[in-house]
Amino acid sequence: MLDNEEFMLESSPRELTQNPLRKIWMPCKNGHIAHRRVCMTNCPTLIVTVGLPARGKTYISKKLTRYLNWIGVPTKEFNVGQYRRECLKIYKSFEFFRPDNEEGLKIRRQCAMAALNDVRQYLSVEGGQVAVFDATNTTRERRGTIVKFAEQNGFKVFFVESVCEDPDVIAQNIVQVKLDSPDYIHCNTEEAIEDFMKRIKCYESSYQPLDEVLDRDLSYIKIMDVGRRYLVNRVLDHIQSRIVYYLMNIHITPRSIYLCRHGESDLNIKGRIGGDSGLSARGEEFAKRLRKFIQDQNIKDLKVWTSQMKRTIQTAECLGVPYEQWKSLNEIDAGVCEEMMYEEIQEHYPLEFALRDQDKYRYRYPKGESYEDLVQRLEPVIMELERQENILVVCHQAVMRCLLAYFLDKTADELPYLKCPLHTVLKLTPMAYGCKVESVYLGVDSVNTHRDRPEVGIPSSTQKCLSADDVDNLNPLQV
């Protein structure tokens, strides 16, 4: 009875106070905010890949990990092949993977269990929300072991199977990815391809694909022939539905994504943030050079996207091609600080200025947005970018940082400080496990709008205000 009374006392309504950094209302106890870790999953999720070698499992694992981290879900990939390489050090041949190689089977089983132990540590101790277990997992017995492990630890399991029978796709994957593997560092191309094809044969005899009847109780998506068809079964929660939606949008068609900011604007010259001003004379010159650059690239079926703000539309108008306006691509909303200079913000809102330097990603302008908000706003843009082929996005500094962070796998801490100068085009070419970046300056001078990460501590005048206890209870505009 005493326990129930204590629970009732603890769960009674508490006072609310506004967190000055993120501008959100939070419960307050004894004058201090009761901090709780925000979780986008109702329980930790273990994503498990399934499929023969050279079916794009690691490609899917890395992309999925990058996407989930970008939208704010702490995710980590666990590649069992890497555990095997660390254990063996030297790979000899496909013989290691033969189904009758008892020593090989033992080592592979030990590596899988070592990876699962690390998964447990990450999800149960380190605060991770999603783990991606990247391995072949081709037998129903192995998948059963993983399901049992997940049940014992309170994790949900979602399987991602990649099935491909197209010999051209398989051969392309082997050449693009597997030949650069540490396993074949001392082999010539022909020897490596021959050995890897024999490695695939070692798995084929025991491969048991996910079955609509036998595995009807499992949650999974089966991706066939690199996205030509899909089979989805028992999607149980929000995070699984987002995973499915994302995986149904990605493709492997070679393409390039061009990112650039609008031409220099009148407010850029004045050192004022935000607003909706038009282009300066130099900005108009950049737009003309951008047109020539795009023509010289001779890009097949290029699409052009802009925001709905004047300076990006003016830039696109000079290109002489159709373009599509996205409200989602509008610049970050600086709220009460719109069209102010940083020096004015520091003078009129010193606490706001210091708070933003303290955590630029999560800081939300009063009546405005944070970079964290911007990432959520841009998720539909990323989904559509994944579906598209060649595309030019004419956008803004904060927006371009968010898009670039997704493609380059940058952390939330790095994102707000990525350099995206005016009058420069970034050409992104997605590769197997990453993205190649080329920076092209179009030769038109402009102001520098980049503000480096502060190297010094918080000024002493605001130090007390920003102490752990005080900052949670300050009214952000009482400065």
Q: What is the CA radius of gyration of the chain?
A: 26
Q: Return all residues near 70 (Cβ < 8 A) that are at least 6 apart.
A: 375, 382, 405, 406
Block residue for tokens 């072991």: 145
Instruction: Decide: 220 and 233 in contact? Cβ < 8 Å.
Output: yes
What is d(CA 229, CA 218) in angstroms, rounded to the nearest whole number?
A: 19
Instruction: Decide: 364 and 432 in contact? Cβ < 8 Å.
Output: no
3-class secondary structure for the chain?
A: CHHHHHHHHHCCCCEEEEECCCCEEEEEECCEECCCCCCCCCCCEEEEEECCCCCCHHHHHHHHHHHHHHCCCCEEEEEHHHHHHHHHCCCCCHHHHCCCCHHHHHHHHHHHHHHHHHHHHHHHCCCCCEEEEECCCCCHHHHHHHHHHHHHHCCEEEEEEEECCCHHHHHHHHHHCHHHCHHHCCCCHHHHHHHHHHHHHHHHCCCCCCCCCCCCCCCEEEEECCCCEEEEECCCCHHHHHHHHHHCCCCCCCCCEEEEECCCEHHHHCCECCCCCCECHHHHHHHHHHHHHHHHHCCCCCEEEECCCHHHHHHHHCCCCCCEECHHHCCCCCHHHCCCEHHHHHHHCHHHHHHHHHCCCCCCCCCCCCHHHHHHHHHHHHHHHHHCCCEEEEECHHHHHHHHHHHHCCCCCCHHHCCCCCCEEEEEEECCCCEEEEEEECCCCCCCCCCCCCCCCCCHHHHCCCCHHHHCCCCCCCC
Active site residues: 134, 164, 262, 331
